[in-house]
Structure 1
Amino acid sequence: MTLPPEFRNWFASKGWQPHPHQLALLETPGDSLLIAPTGGGKTLAGFLPSLVELRAGGGRKGSVHTLYVSPLKALTADIGRNLARPVAELGLPIRVEDRTGDTGATQRRRQRVDPPEILLTTPESLALMLSYPEAPAIFAGLRRVVLDELHALAESKRGDQLMLGLARLRSLSPAMRVTGLSATVEDPQALADFMAGAGPVTVHLADPGPDPDIAMLATEQPAPWAGGGGHYAVPEVLEAVRQARTTIIFINTRAQAELFFQALWAANVDNLPIGLHHGSLAREQRTRVEAAMAAGELRAVVATGSLDLGIDWGAVDLVIQVGAPKNVKRLVQRIGRANHRYNAPSMARIVPANRFEQIECVAALEAVRLRDLDGTPRGQGPLDVLCQHILLTACAAPFDADALWAEVRTAGPYRALCRADFDACLDFAATGGYALRAYDRWQRLMLRGGLWHLRDPRAAKLLRMNVGTIVEAEMVKVRLRGRGGTPLGEVEEDFAASLVPGDSFLIGGKVVRMDAMREMVIEVTPVPTRQPKIAVYSGVKLAMSTQLAHRVLALIGDPSRHDVLPPDTRDWLRLQAQVSRLPEPGVLLSESFPHAGLWHFALYGFAGRNALQTLGLLLTREMEGEGLGPLGFLMTDYALLIWSLDPVTAPERLLDSDRLRAGLGDWLGENAVMKRTFRNVATVAGLIHRNMPGNRKSGRQATFSSDILYDTLRKYDPGHLMLRITAGEAGRGLVDFGRIEEMLARSPRREHRMLDRVSPMAAPLLLEIGKVPIRGEGRDRLAQIEAAALMQAAGLEALG
């Protein structure tokens, strides 16, 4: 396929020249993956073959010709607007429609009998469409599938669900071709294998463009010793916003985004228009911010990962990352949001939140300049997603088990799926498993005439209501008081339960007072002068990637490279080398020292906060067994600190890998981490339903149900499929025990220092103990006095 003259004329009328990678996709006969930087015209490249085919009269009446799948509903809507222009200007007689959770019921029903030529959707909506009996007719003429932001989808179960959907689409329309679109990734071939069917995938690597203009933001005040807010840099951030046209300020967590936005507004004497955007804000508020950005009405927006992907705002010319990025690939993708134009360098500035993060930011900048991205190899496709897929397949029509197994194995993540695991998922979908098969509610499939059918066709409605792999946290909506009050967003149910009428909290950049709670909705009134509580938001904090952790450790351990660090950080590390020693690759450094009447044990593991949190739980258990009297611990991405009544003098015995793994098994059995993981797994697999006809279970109701099921299965069916999946997920996710073992394996030398005082590297950790966010002048002064005393004790008072 070549680009027809009318398309070349259309490009010329815009003053554009087709990029080589856009033309390459036209010439690729099979499946393809395009890796291109932000602003490189990836989306248009993905649609060009479809537009050319449809211009030539391709397509089949009553069937979708091209299916576009993206991870975000907002991105789907944006693509629809962008496609409308070439479709209209080229006079193409085609319809472009979206099918997401925001699509009206009338349009969704019509699409099942009269689908458009180009349909824009999300993984969840595709799974839902494939569960209807009309799916074979809707997709019989499907010729092309475009998968946008594939790198983001591949990082979660949403990607696994999508690949199972692709396997089904390939069965319905064997002639279809798939095009994956992705920003820069560390392993393009692994991503190609993820999206591949039975045939090969051609990988196209676009010109990565010029190196970005990226550096640390110079600030008058040095970064503080501890904390994660970055508020010390507010004056410089505001000045950078003044100098730019439009700025995105990325913050790693929703609570920190709220606080930083409030701090910016307090200092924004020029009343620059600045917005706030994160996933817990009301959809109406997010939409208003997105529209204002697109119209050029905002000078800046404070955002979390909610703006990591997709929407093309050409006016953005600066990105500021507040807090260490934790992941080089994420930083590169965020940088690409600035100067969303091909061959134009992106400008970004980084604000480390504390002294440790200064080192991490320097290491991340080095990795960006070397184009050395981090990533984690994907494992086999998760079985809870497969269980859901089996149930949804039965909703569409009866199926043959052998044929479905063969089909599933054409999906990249499930290529190595063994028949025993498939049969275990099928048995669970049919009966609930050994311990639950006596209960009618889990008897959902039956074998008749060699095919598996839904036992009760009415169950299809309930299964469709619970499609998806995103297990939402238990959230409560927040609205302004009064009939039809403006929605502000939502907070976690546990946080809502802690509020009483009269309490104030921060949401959407506003301080509000709780007036009442009715039917899972908090009614509030603005109270701008109150000191607020900080709303709790779900999700673990971002953990530093393994590759970035190795870079940070190598930088700290090599004094000859310290000249790249700020002067105060160089002096801090030099003093650490004098008092104790520096952490370095191959050596696991730990220290014991007295402070404030207690003994403290510091371990510099550089394994990420999730792994070090698990290690803290395991080590305190071991210390308890040895009578050392542990009282508590805290962790960062770099270090673990435990305080106790008696000192740790020989940590080698405590850090034995076999001993830790045995302790992990004992600890996990009764731990809340396992129960939370089980609830998520059981919800995805279809054992537990949050959405019911006529109502939705509250988070507490769902947790109560899942806890009963978890305890029942542990007692009567410990080998149950759901428990097996749960154990694997807990070990890889929140617990991250693999990184503990990796830390021990890469550090064959152990060195423990017994000190008579706080070491320089441990001093910032002590500032974190038991502290909550400090607000107000009096508390700030108190914190400064306490910090000064600690720094003096550690010999750091001369470093500022």
Structure 2
Amino acid sequence: MILPQAFQDWFARQGWQPHPHQLALLAAEGDSLLIAPTGGGKTLAGFLPSLVELARLQDGYLENGKTRGLHTLYVSPLKALTADIARNLGRPVAELGLAIRVEDRTGDTGQGQRRRQRVDPPEVLLTTPESLALMLSYPEAPAIFGGLRRVVLDELHALAESKRGDQLMLGLARLRALSPGVRVTGLSATVEDPAGLAGFMAGAGPVQIVEADPGPEPDIAMLRTARPAPWSGGGGHYAIPEVLAAIREARTTIVFINTRAQAELFFQALWAANDENLPIGLHHGSLEREARARVEAAMAAGQLRAVVATGSLDLGIDWGAVDLVIQVGAPKNVKRLVQRIGRANHRYNAPSKARIVPANRFEQIECVAALEAVRERDLDGDPRGPGPLDVLCQHILLTACAAPFDADALFAEVVTAGPYRGLSRADFDACLDFAATGGYALRAYDRWQRLMLRDGLWQLRDPRAAKLLRMNVGTIVEAEMMKVRLRGRGGAPLGEVEEGFAASLSPGDSFLIGGRVVRMDAMREMVIEVTPDPRNQPKIAVYSGVKLATSTQLSHRVLELIGDPSRHSALPADTRDWLALQAEVSALPQPGLLLSESFPHAGLWHFALYGFAGRNALQTLGLLVTREMEQAGLGPLGFLSTDYALLVWSLDPVTDPGPLLDAARLRAGLGDWLGGNAVMKRTFRNVATVAGLIQRNMPGARKSGRQATFSSDILYDTLRKYDPGHLMLRITADEAGRGLVDFGRIEEMLARSPRRAHRMLERVSPMAAPLLLEVGRVPIRGEGRERLARIEAEDLMREAGLEGIA
């Protein structure tokens, strides 16, 4: 396929030349993966083959004013991205005179349009993985997708990092079965393993990898500030004057913050210092959709000078006017930083400009390490594991919603999906049995008897179950959220807060949402009614969002930087002095060496371990180490963890950490601890929700988070007692080990540190001092707490002169 003259003329009218990678995709004969920098015309490259084909076919592609079927399906991870693509794609469609419809199909699409699309789909449909799974669950799926010719998967790297990508690949396998010969194009800007990502999206044939010229080097550095970074904390508020100055000098700025709560706080602090009333917006996933849409429209129209945002704006929305990105807080992940940098100067031939604001002293080191990785184009990423079985269970149930199926045929289809290529028939059959009966311990209950075998085909036992299954499509299991509305009839929606945070509020309490201070007046069902209250000091809404952990590769880079004094010249002077004092008083952590310290402070002994294994792993290690300390009689009282260190305080000192860090003992302790632990129950709830064992959405109602947790806890305890080999428990154990528990990183930490060094110190070390200022302490309720109470009681009796009196 070559670029027709009409398209060449259109490029010329824009003052453009087609990029080589755009022409390469046009010439590709099979599936392809394009890796190109932000602003490199990836989206146009992905759609160009479709537009050229539709231009050639349009005279014969319409029948009685209706399309003969869907030609191109575009899938993105964000609803906002589909709206942006629809707006940008409308221009070449109109200017090339193409008589085609481009429509979206997401959770925001109206019911009327959804129904019409099932009988009269547009030529180009823009959707998300969840909406695709829903469309494939309808009996009309063969008619909708039977003529499909092309699929475009945008921001594929982002999808591949979560279960949404696994769900999408199962849907893609179904599309390939419904429309043999469909061509699939993946688009991505930041890929550490192109061949691995190509294998993830591949079907039966090979995937051609097209890598574009990476473009000019970005202009990226730490933002210089008059005040030094604080020793602890994550707000970055010390840099507000310099951030405002940078916004003033730029045309349009995106200020990225890692969490929603910190974004609210930073936006409020920024606005309080904004004496010039520069137009600044706020954007994150818990704000009301209309509020997000207003900010997106204002940014696209050039009406805002800055927007404070979370990961909700990480991916490819094309705002060409953005010429500066500021990252507040350490990026935690090099790929995420590169992605965010690319939001500035969304043009192929212009360098992106970005500045980083470390939130505290330790983050200065991480930011320097991240900048080095960006300059070396060294992206981080963990190997992809096999396709999760809870997602497969959901897929089997949704397949039955569409039509009866043959198990052998479905298995043959599923194993063509990249993540499930190694799936065993035994695991597939276990998922099928779960979908049909709920598994051994649950097969006596009618509510989990969902599939039956008739004439060799599996089908829904009760066709009415399809509605409930479709209402619970998806792999995202977030904390239960409650709507926030202004009080009064027709009160405007402001957004959402977590149910757990809402439970901590009493009438009259103030909190922050959307950059506004509001007072809680009443709580009705799942809605909080509020009144504006700018005079009060607010509580802060605590959103779980995505808990960002530093990647393994970036952690290793930080460790290498700290352990090599010859490289400390790249660090700020105050950080160099801090590390030099640490080397003098104790030692510096370094690759191959696991450093720990014991020192007295405030009447207690403290044990610091510099593991550089990530917050989740060190949190787990804290729970396991304190169990060992309890058994050794050391009286642990509590611990806290960061991405780099674990700090435990106790009544007696740790003089030899060797026994506490024995890998075999830790693994055995993990098994004992996980059994009835809240982490496992939380993981089970997520797995059971994705697999369809628990339904959150019910016709006419929605279970509260408390109700869902209660029912999942009962199920978990029941299965542990009566069916310990149940598929859901097996999936839960695998998930916990990789995610919330992250024990694999603990084992990796011990394996990469054959040398150990333990320092007995007379006082707190320089590197441990900031840990004492951190929040997030976990108390230990054990013998140490009881012993401390006895000591305090004896001291009190002695002070009162009652010593020795029975």
Superposition pairs for residues 720-759 of structure 1, below 5 Å? 720-759=726-765
TM-score w.r.t. the length of structure 1 is 0.96
**What residue is the counterpart of 2:33 in the other structure?**
33
CA distance in 1, matches of 2:53, 2:546: 46
Over 3 Å counting, the alpha-carbon distance change for 1:480 and 1:54 in structure 2 is: same
Query: Which stretches of structure 1, 4 residues or longer, exceed 6 Å deviation after superposition?
Result: none
Does the aligned pair in 1 maintain the 2:433–2:439 contact within 8 Å? Answer: yes
**What residue is the counterpart of 2:115 in the other structure?**
109
Partner of 1:320, secondary structure, is: strand
Does the aligned pair in 2 maintain the 1:401–1:452 contact within 8 Å? Answer: yes
Does the aligned pair in 1 maintain the 2:499–2:705 contact within 8 Å? Answer: yes
Matched, 1:635 2:629: no
Matched, 1:510 2:531: no
**What residue is the counterpart of 1:411 in the other structure?**
417
CA distance in 2, matches of 1:769, 1:269: 32
Question: 307, 326, 331: which is aligned to 2:337?
Answer: 331
1:86 Cα deviation after fit: 1.0
Over 3 Å counting, the alpha-carbon distance change for 1:737 and 1:539 in structure 2 is: farther
**What residue is the counterpart of 2:4 in the other structure?**
4
1:542 Cα deviation after fit: 0.9
**What residue is the counterpart of 1:715 in the other structure?**
721
Does the aligned pair in 2 maintain the 1:67–1:145 contact within 8 Å? Answer: yes
Superposition pairs for residues 641-656 of structure 1, below 5 Å? 641-656=647-662
**What residue is the counterpart of 1:247 in the other structure?**
253
Matched, 1:132 2:138: yes
1:535 Cα deviation after fit: 0.8
Over 3 Å counting, the alpha-carbon distance change for 1:431 and 1:107 in structure 2 is: same
Does the aligned pair in 2 maintain the 1:543–1:637 contact within 8 Å? Answer: yes
Matched, 1:474 2:454: no
Matched letter for residue 164 of structure 1: L
**What residue is the counterpart of 2:672 in the other structure?**
666
**What residue is the counterpart of 1:530 in the other structure?**
536
**What residue is the counterpart of 1:24 in the other structure?**
24
- Superposed CA RMSD in Å reads 1.0
Matched letter for residue 278 of structure 2: L
**What residue is the counterpart of 1:778 in the other structure?**
none
1:472 Cα deviation after fit: 2.5
Partner of 1:744, secondary structure, is: helix
CA distance in 2, matches of 1:769, 1:19: 50
Deviations 1:752-789 (A, max 9, x none): 000001101101111125789xxxxxxxxxxxxxxxxx
CA distance in 2, matches of 1:27, 1:771: 58
CA distance in 2, matches of 1:155, 1:327: 13
**What residue is the counterpart of 1:680 in the other structure?**
686
Superposition pairs for residues 162-173 of structure 1, below 5 Å? 162-173=168-179
**What residue is the counterpart of 1:210 in the other structure?**
216
Over 3 Å counting, the alpha-carbon distance change for 1:343 and 1:540 in structure 2 is: closer
Does the aligned pair in 2 maintain the 1:408–1:414 contact within 8 Å? Answer: yes
Deviations 1:151-189 (A, max 9, x none): 111011110000000000000111110000001211111
Does the aligned pair in 2 maintain the 1:62–1:137 contact within 8 Å? Answer: no
Partner of 2:658, secondary structure, is: helix
Deviations 1:286-336 (A, max 9, x none): 111111111111111110000001210000000000000000110000000
**What residue is the counterpart of 2:623 in the other structure?**
617
TM-score w.r.t. the length of structure 2 is 0.95
Matched letter for residue 19 of structure 1: H
Superposition pairs for residues 216-255 of structure 1, below 5 Å? 216-255=222-261
CA distance in 1, matches of 2:565, 2:205: 51
Matched letter for residue 56 of structure 2: A
Deviations 1:247-300 (A, max 9, x none): 000000111111111110111111111111111111111111111111111111
Does the aligned pair in 1 maintain the 2:330–2:363 contact within 8 Å? Answer: yes
Does the aligned pair in 2 maintain the 1:62–1:138 contact within 8 Å? Answer: no
Question: 386, 396, 419: which is aligned to 1:380?
Answer: 386
**What residue is the counterpart of 2:787 in the other structure?**
none
Does the aligned pair in 2 maintain the 1:628–1:645 contact within 8 Å? Answer: yes
Superposition pairs for residues 130-209 of structure 1, below 5 Å? 130-209=136-215
Question: 302, 305, 316: which is aligned to 2:311?
Answer: 305
5+ long unaligned stretches in structure 2: 779-806
1:498 Cα deviation after fit: 1.1
Partner of 1:56, secondary structure, is: helix
Deviations 1:531-585 (A, max 9, x none): 1111111246311110001110011001111111111111111111110010000
CA distance in 1, matches of 2:759, 2:395: 54
1:635 Cα deviation after fit: 1.1
1:648 Cα deviation after fit: 0.4
Does the aligned pair in 1 maintain the 2:638–2:777 contact within 8 Å? Answer: no
CA distance in 2, matches of 1:386, 1:771: 38
Does the aligned pair in 2 maintain the 1:480–1:488 contact within 8 Å? Answer: yes
CA distance in 2, matches of 1:100, 1:556: 47
Superposition pairs for residues 487-566 of structure 1, below 5 Å? 487-539=493-545, 541-566=547-572
Superposition pairs for residues 271-290 of structure 1, below 5 Å? 271-290=277-296
Does the aligned pair in 2 maintain the 1:610–1:736 contact within 8 Å? Answer: yes
Superposition pairs for residues 774-789 of structure 1, below 5 Å? none
Deviations 1:337-363 (A, max 9, x none): 000001110000000011110000000
5+ long unaligned stretches in structure 1: 773-800
CA distance in 2, matches of 1:654, 1:295: 59
**What residue is the counterpart of 2:55 in the other structure?**
55
Partner of 2:733, secondary structure, is: helix
Question: 92, 95, 98: which is aligned to 2:98?
Answer: 92
Superposition pairs for residues 767-778 of structure 1, below 5 Å? 767-768=773-774
Deviations 1:622-650 (A, max 9, x none): 11111111111111111110000000001
Matched letter for residue 187 of structure 1: D
Matched letter for residue 726 of structure 1: T
1:597 Cα deviation after fit: 0.3
Partner of 2:345, secondary structure, is: coil
Partner of 1:316, secondary structure, is: coil
Matched letter for residue 233 of structure 2: G
Deviations 1:14-46 (A, max 9, x none): 111100000000100000000001100000000
Deviations 1:83-126 (A, max 9, x none): 11111111112111111111111111111111111111111111
1:78 Cα deviation after fit: 1.1
Over 3 Å counting, the alpha-carbon distance change for 1:68 and 1:426 in structure 2 is: same
Matched letter for residue 516 of structure 2: K
Deviations 1:400-440 (A, max 9, x none): 00000000000000000000000000000000000000000
Does the aligned pair in 2 maintain the 1:588–1:747 contact within 8 Å? Answer: yes
Matched letter for residue 249 of structure 2: Q
Does the aligned pair in 1 maintain the 2:259–2:546 contact within 8 Å? Answer: no
CA distance in 2, matches of 1:259, 1:368: 28
CA distance in 1, matches of 2:776, 2:640: 9
Range moving further from structure 2, 489-498 or 57-66: 57-66
1:74 Cα deviation after fit: 1.0
Over 3 Å counting, the alpha-carbon distance change for 1:540 and 1:287 in structure 2 is: closer
Deviations 1:121-163 (A, max 9, x none): 1111111111111111111111000001111110111100000
CA distance in 2, matches of 1:637, 1:109: 48
Matched letter for residue 333 of structure 2: N
CA distance in 2, matches of 1:770, 1:182: 36
CA distance in 2, matches of 1:493, 1:337: 33
Partner of 2:57, secondary structure, is: coil
**What residue is the counterpart of 1:455 in the other structure?**
461
| Equivalent residue pairs, number | 772
Partner of 1:280, secondary structure, is: coil
CA distance in 1, matches of 2:508, 2:724: 47
Does the aligned pair in 2 maintain the 1:62–1:113 contact within 8 Å? Answer: no
Matched, 1:594 2:622: no
CA distance in 2, matches of 1:515, 1:618: 43
CA distance in 2, matches of 1:287, 1:672: 37
